[in-house]
Amino acid sequence: MICSMTGYAALTRELPSGTLNLELRSVNHRYLDIQFRMPDELRPLEPVMRELLAARLARGKVDCRVGFAQTPAAASAAGVSQELLARLAEFDRQVRAALPDAEPLRVADALRWPGIFGPETLPVESLREACMELLKAALAEFADTRRREGARLEAMIAERAQKVRGLAVGVAPRIPAVIAAFEEKLAARLKEALGGLDDERLRQELALFAAKIDVDEELSRLGTHLDEVERVLRGGGTAGKRLDFLMQELHREANTLGSKSVDAEVSRVSMEMKVLIEQMREQVQNIE
C-alpha cells in the first residue's frame, strides 16, 4: 500500500510503580529523521528504539516521546534527596537576594525537580522492557494511521491523474484541425508578405512551423507518464520520490503543450492540466 508520512499514535500502560506513556507523531520530510524525548534513565534504550523505528519506516520526521509518572507511594518510598533539596534551597535564597520580587520556590516545584527522589527514582530495568513493548504496540497503531492516510492520498492522486488523461484524450482529435487551420492562415500571410515566394519554399516554411506547433509528442509522453503514475500507485511501497519525479515530468509536458499552442482551447486544456498536476504534486509530498 501507499503510506503517508503523516501519522500519530499514543499509548499508556499502568505499571505497579507508575504510568508509562509513549507518543509517536510524524510529518513529511525528505529523509528519515527520528527525534527522541525521554527521561535520562531510559536514554540507553534510544539506539534499539531507533533501530526498530528505522526498520519499519523509510521517510518522515518522526518524534518519539516517552514519559513516566511515578505513583505517590513509589515516590515517597524512594525518599527525598536531602543533598539536592539543600542545593535548591540555596539557589532559591540566592535568586531572591538578587531579585526580591521573584516568587519563592514552592513545594510542588521542588518535588517535580529532576533527581529529587535520588538517582534510583525510576525502576529502570522493569521500565525498559515495558517501554519496548509499548513502542512495538504504538508502532503498529502508528503504521495503521499512515496506511489509512496513504489510501486517501492514493485515491485523490488517481482521480486527478484520470482527469488529466481525460483532458489529453479529449484535446488530441482537435490537433490536426488546429494545425491545418494555422497552416492555411500562415500561407495566406506569407504570400501577402513575401509576394513571389515559390510553392516549394512555401511548403518548407509551412512544414517548419507545423512541426513547432505539433503537440502530438507531448500528448503521447503525458499518456506514458500517467501510465507510470498508475503503475507506481498499484505497486505501493516507498513511492514518494518516484511520484514526485513523475509530477515534474507531467508538469513539463503540460507546460510545453501550452507554450506550443496556437489555439485557445488547447491553451485552456494546458492550464487545467497544470492545476491538476500541482494538486497531485502537493499531496505527493506527503507520501513515504
Residue 93 in this model has a pLDDT that exceeds 60: yes
Instruction: Give the total residue count for the chain.
Output: 288
- Total-model pTM: 0.72
* Mean predicted confidence (pLDDT) in 93-118: 79
Find where cell 489555439 sits. 263
Q: Which residue has the higher pLDDT, 273 or 237?
A: 273
pLDDT in tens, 36-51: 999 887 888 899 999 9
Show Cβ contacts of residue 11 under 8 Å, excluding neighbours closer than 6 positions: 21, 22, 134, 137, 138, 141
Confidence of residue 18 (pLDDT cuts 50, 70, 90): confident
Q: Which residue has the higher pLDDT, 184 or 166?
A: 166
Find where cell 499509548 sits. 11
Q: Which residues pair with 65 in a beta bridge?
A: 23, 37
Q: Which residues pair with 12 in a beta bridge?
A: 21
Q: Which residue has the higher pLDDT, 154 or 201?
A: 154
Q: Which residue has the higher pLDDT, 74 or 238?
A: 238
- Residue 201's pLDDT is 60
For the chain, what is the mean pLDDT?
84
- Residue 44's pLDDT is 87
Q: Which domains does the chain have, with CATH numbers?
A: 80-111 (no CATH), 148-284 (1.20.140)
Confidence of residue 141 (pLDDT cuts 50, 70, 90): very high
